[in-house]
């Protein structure tokens, strides 16, 4: 129960500053759009924002993400929201300019789901 409360508080803190970036470490690429990340003493699931990966491209996209995000790679998170306890964020590896969702789109492995404004 305390762990769940800590996760909720952590997510609320992240979401209270939607334009800020927060560094975290990648612990695992769970799927073509889901990452497990760690930030100090917390672990949480992050969904890449604004992309959709077709069923036929799921494995290739996951393999591409694993190549780009070895375990412990540091990334910046720019929260966009949350759903079902999962943080939805734009994720950019430290030292890179392009967020991973946009990179997957450029690789032809995903489609954009957000309107650019």
Per-residue pLDDT of the chain (117 residues; tens, 9 = 90+): 555 545 555 555 555 444 445 679 999 999 999 999 998 788 999 999 999 999 999 999 999 999 999 988 999 999 999 999 999 999 999 998 889 999 999 999 999 998 764
- Output the six-digit token pair for 25: 């470490």
Strands 42-48 and 86-93: parallel
Distance (Å, whole) CA 30 – CA 53: 14
Question: Can you give the pTM of this predicted structure?
Answer: 0.77
Collapse the DSSP code of 17 into the 3-class scheme (helix H, G, I; strand E, B; otherwise coil) and give the result: coil
- In this structure, what are the phi and psi dihedrals at residue 90, rounded to the nearest 5 degrees? -85, 130
């Amino acid at each position: 129960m305390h762990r769940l409360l800590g996760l909720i508080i952590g997510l609320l803190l992240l979401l209270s500053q939607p334009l800020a970036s927060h560094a975290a470490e990648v612990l695992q690429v769970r799927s073509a759009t889901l990452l497990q990340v760690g930030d100090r003493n917390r672990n949480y699931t992050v969904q890449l924002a604004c992309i959709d990966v077709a069923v036929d491209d799921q494995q290739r996209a996951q393999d591409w993400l694993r190549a780009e995000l070895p375990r412990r790679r540091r990334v910046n998170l720019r929260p966009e929201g949350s759903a079902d306890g999962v943080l939805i964020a734009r994720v950019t590896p430290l030292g890179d300019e392009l967020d991973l969702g946009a990179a997957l789109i450029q690789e032809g492995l995903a489609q954009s789901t957000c309107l650019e404004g």
